[in-house]
Amino acid sequence: MNNHPIPFGIPNALFLYDDYPHPISVGGITYPSVRHAVLSFKTMVVKIKKEIAQTTLPSDLKDYELEMPAPRWWKKEFILGLGKILTLRKFKENPHLAEKLQATGETYLNDLPYSGQGDYGIKELTEVYNYRGNILMDVREILRKQKAP
């Protein structure tokens, strides 16, 4: 594995973020990003799901994260699993992004959190080092195996 990590914050790596704009449909509603789609699972109220889908500013998503009550399933393990499933969909549905992800080769993908970055209102996620980077490296490996003859 390459010892030089790719930090997400550089311009040519923005596609790695879970809030990178690309449509993803879940339950008949199209969300602008994986981050929006994951957050929509925090509620069963369709009206709120649609509001999340219309949200464009990260600060507005942060408001939803903090204001919506957490259902019993809203735990670290749920978010990690859901994040992986929806991130895999993101790259399968966007082959040009999948090619860019696979072009990172064996490079370590390091998510350097930025100030105020949301973790879906789950404090324990902030304690999981590089969870977004680990999800991406797992997805990269899945895509590589599915592409292999």
pLDDT over threshold 50, residue 95: yes
Residue 30 pLDDT level (bands cut at 50, 70, 90) = very high
**Type of residue found at 19:** D
Cβ burial, residue 20 (10 Å; 0-12/13-18/19+): middle
Those residues with Cβ within 8 angstroms of residue 147's Cβ, 6 or more apart along the chain or in another chain:
102
Residue 144 pLDDT level (bands cut at 50, 70, 90) = very high
Residue 81 pLDDT level (bands cut at 50, 70, 90) = very high
What are the structure tokens assigned to 63, written together? 């408001």
Cβ burial, residue 37 (10 Å; 0-12/13-18/19+): buried
Residue 126 is predicted with a pLDDT of 64
Region 22-27 average pLDDT: 91
- Alpha carbon distance 69, 72 (integer Å): 10
Residue that the structure tokens 């399968």 belong to: 92
Q: How far is CA 49 from the centre of its chain?
A: 17
pLDDT over threshold 50, residue 116: no
